[in-house]
Structure 1
Amino acid sequence: MRNKFDMQLDSLKEQLIHMGELCEIAITKATEAILEGKEEQAREVILADEEIDQAEKDIERLCLKLLLQQQPVAKDLRQISAALKMITDMERIGDQASDIAEILLTAKLGKAKPNEDIGVMAQATAKMVTESVQAYVDQNMMLAKKVMLADDEVDRLFEKVRQEIIDYIAKGNGEEGAEAIDQIMVTKYLERIGDHATNIAEWVEFSITGNHHGAQAIHDREKAGE
C-alpha cells in the first residue's frame, strides 16, 4: 500500500514540475514577445494558458484522489495540501503571463523604447517559479528561503522601472505616455508573478515544517494592531 502511495506522490511531483515548466516558458515567451514585438508568439502564450489550466485540474484531481483513498497524515498530508495551494498560484502565474501577452496585442508599444530591466525581471521571476517547485520536490528549505528573499530584488526592479518610466515621460515624452504606461503594467504583472512564486515557496515551508511564513506574518500584523 505504501509503495503505491509513494508512486502516486512521485507522479504528483512530476506533474508539478511540468506545470512549473509551462509557467516558466509562458513568462519568458510573453516578455520576449513584448520586448521584440512578436505578436504571433504573444498569441501562442495566450493559447498555452489553457494547458496550464488543464495541468492545474489534473493535479487537483490527483491530490483529491490521494486524500480520499489514502487518508494521509502528518507530513504526507502537508505535502498534498501544499500542492493544492501551489497549483492555485501557478495557475495565476499562467494568467498573468497571458495578460502580459495580451498587452502587446491590444496596445501600441512601438514608440516608447522598451525598458531593459523588464527582461531582467522576467528572468528573475521565471527562476523563482522553477526554484520554488524544485524546493517542493526536493523538500529543500534553503532553496525555498532563497526564493522568498529573491522577491525583494523583483520588487526593487519594479520600483526602478516604474520610476525610470515616470522620469522618461516627465522629460518631454508625453506623446509616448500610453506606451510607457503599458510597460509599467507589464512590470506590475511580473511583480505579481514574483509574489505568487513567493507564495509557492511559503507552502513548501509548510510542507516541510508545518509552519506557514505568510500566515505568521498576517498574525504578527494583526497582533501589532491590537
Structure 2
Amino acid sequence: MSNHLHADLEKLEKRLLYLAAQVEDSVRKAITALLERKQDLALDVVAGDREIDEREVELEEDCLKLLALHQPVATDLRFIAAVLKIDNDLERIGDLAVSIAKRAAFLTTAPPFPVPHQMKAMMEQAVDMLRKSLDAFVGGDVVKAQEVLEADDAIDKLHKEIGREVIAAMESNSESVEPGMQLFSVSKALERIADHATNIAEDVVYMVDGAIIRHGLGVDPV
C-alpha cells in the first residue's frame, strides 16, 4: 500500500466514525425525546438530518474518488467497499432516528400513553449493536461482528413484547389507538436500526475474510 493510499484510507475511516457518532447521538436524542416527552429535542433531531445526509453523500464521493485515483485491490478494495455500504446503512439509521423523533413530537401533543418499559432497553441494545459493529470494523474483528449478529434475536423478542403490550392497551381504550400505533412504529424503527447494525457486522466479515454472508448465504472468500 502506498503512503498516499494509507493516509487517504485513514481519513476515510475517521470521517465514517464521525458520521457514526452523529447518527448514534440522533438515535439517543430521539428516544430521550420520546421517553421524556421533549418536543424541542425531537425537533432538534429532525433538523440535524440534513447534515447527516450531506456527510453521507460526501463520504460516498470520497470512496469513489479513492477507487478512481488509487485503483485499490484485495484488502484495500474490500475496505472501501465496506465503507460505502456502512455509509449507506448509517444514513438509513439517521432516517429512522428522524422517524422516531417525529413520532415522539406527535406524542407530546397527545394524551399521555404509557411507554412500554422495554423501549429503553431496546434502544440501548440497538445502539450497543451499532457501536459494537463499528468497533468490529475499526479493529477488523470478526468475532465481535459475530456477537452483533447473534444479538439480533434479542431485539426481535423485545419488539414482539412491545407489540403485545401496545395492542393490549389499544384494545382496552379506544383513545389509545393512535398513540399506540405511533409507539409500535417506534419499536419497528428500533428493530430496523438493529438490522442495519447487523448489515454493518456482515460487511466487517466481508472486509476481513472476503466472505459474503448476507441473507444467511455463505460465499467463498474472494
* TM-score normalised per structure 1: 0.91
Corresponding residue for residue 35 of structure 1: 35
Unmatched segments (≥5 aa) in structure 1: 220-226
Decide whether the 8 Å contact of 1:46 with 1:101 is kept in 2.
yes
Q: What residue in structure 1 maps to residue 170 of structure 2?
A: 169
Q: Name the amino acid aligned to 2:177.
A: G
AA aligned to 1:166 is I
Regions of 4+ moved over 6 Å: none
Q: Is the 8 A contact 1:23 1:129 kept in 2?
A: no
Q: What residue is the counterpart of 1:134 in the other structure? A: 135
What amino acid does structure 2 have at the position aligned with 1:111?
P
Corresponding position of 1:91? 91
Pairwise CA RMSD of aligned residues? 1.6
The one-letter amino acid of 1:29's match is K
What are the equivalent positions in structure 2 for 1:108-119 lying under 5 Å apart?
108-119=109-120
Match of residue 104 from structure 2: 104
Change (3 A) 1:109 1:129: farther
How far the C-alpha of 1:71 sits from its partner, in A, is: 0.4
Query: Distance in 1 between the 2:44 and 2:169 partners?
Result: 31
Match of 2:6? 6
**1:206 matched to 2:206:** yes
Deviation for aligned residue 1:216: 4.9
Partner of 1:122: 123
Give the secondary-structure state (helix, strand or coil) at the position aligned to 2:72: coil
Q: More displaced, 52-61 or 21-30?
A: 52-61
Distance 2:169 2:106 in 1: 22
1:143 partner letter: K
The alignment partner of 2:48 has SS state of: helix
Structure 1 residue 148, shift from structure 2 partner: 1.0
**Partner amino acid, structure 1, of 2:193:** I
For 1:205 and 1:196, the matched residues in 2 are separated by 14
Q: Deviations over 1:147-179 (max 9, x none)?
A: 111111111110111011112233x22321211
Structure 2 unaligned spans of 5+: none
Show the 5 A alignment for 1:35-74: 35-74=35-74
- Distance in 1, Cα, partners of 2:51 & 2:128: 20
Assess, with a 3 A threshold, how the Cα gap between structure 1 residues 52 and 74 changes in structure 2: closer, same or farther: same
Determine the C-alpha separation between the residues in 1 that align with 2:2 and 2:88: 28
Deviation at 1:105, TM superposition (A): 2.7
CA deviation string 1:166-213 (max 9, x = no partner): 12233x223212111111010001001111111111111111111111
Q: Which amino acid aligns with 1:63?
A: C
